[in-house]
Amino acid sequence: MRYIITNPLSPKSCQKLFKTCKYFYSTNPIIFIDWLEWDRLQRNFQTYSLNYVIIDVNNIAYKMWLTKQLRVRSVTHPTAVSQLLNKVFRCDLSHLCIFNQKISFNDYCILVNGGNIKHFEMENVEIRDENGNLVPLEIILEKLPNVVKCAFRFEALEEYNFSSGTSKKMAELPPFKYLGSFELYGIPLCHSTKYYQKK
């Protein structure tokens, strides 16, 4: 029983458990949020799921299950996403848009868990591995097998090292069968597109 409570298969099954008995919620308090966004004025997260409630992630007793969309655009709070994930039970996102953030590769894997991302945007986001190195673009893309629209912007990240080798590795990834739009901004001219044209 404890395993079922702490490892629900889906938001629907979890909500059924909570409706069946209050004990389940008290044991593993989770709220379900389908749209969460960083509020630049309040400097905290705001959910459209609960009538525009501001959520102070540093002062909540429950975990959040993000089920649809997360948007974070913050110049003054580059660790907002990492702080948020400390209070996230699970992500089943289809839309992920992050700007001006610094996150670990483990955090990134949590965000794209399940490979259900359809709409993906990242602008000036540093994703680093456990050794502090920037994660290559092809590794980031590998976690998005079902993406439909994808955009990367790197204008302010001079440390990212793009080369013709980067192009080749990206082209060697399995085909993105649903991809309709792919955009790259702020990359050097040596990043060749010929590999994509062959594919």
Structure confidence by residue, pLDDT tens digits, 68-95: 999 999 878 999 999 999 999 999 999 9
| Cα(28)–Cα(165) distance, integer angstroms | 46
Structure confidence by residue, pLDDT tens digits, 111-170: 999 789 999 999 999 999 999 998 988 899 999 999 999 999 887 666 666 666 777 888
Domain presence at residue 142: yes
Domain presence at residue 11: no
* 12, 21 Cβ separation under 8 angstroms: no
Kindly report the pTM of this predicted structure.
0.82
Q: What angle do CA 33, 128, 135 make, to 5 degrees?
A: 105
**Which 8-state DSSP code applies to residue 172?**
T
Domain presence at residue 21: no
* 116, 93 Cβ separation under 8 angstroms: yes
Any idea what the CATH number is for the domain that residue 174 is in?
A: 3.80.10
Domain presence at residue 8: no
Domain count along the chain: 1
* 77, 39 Cβ separation under 8 angstroms: no
Residues spanned by the domain of 183: 31-198
| Cα(89)–Cα(143) distance, integer angstroms | 19
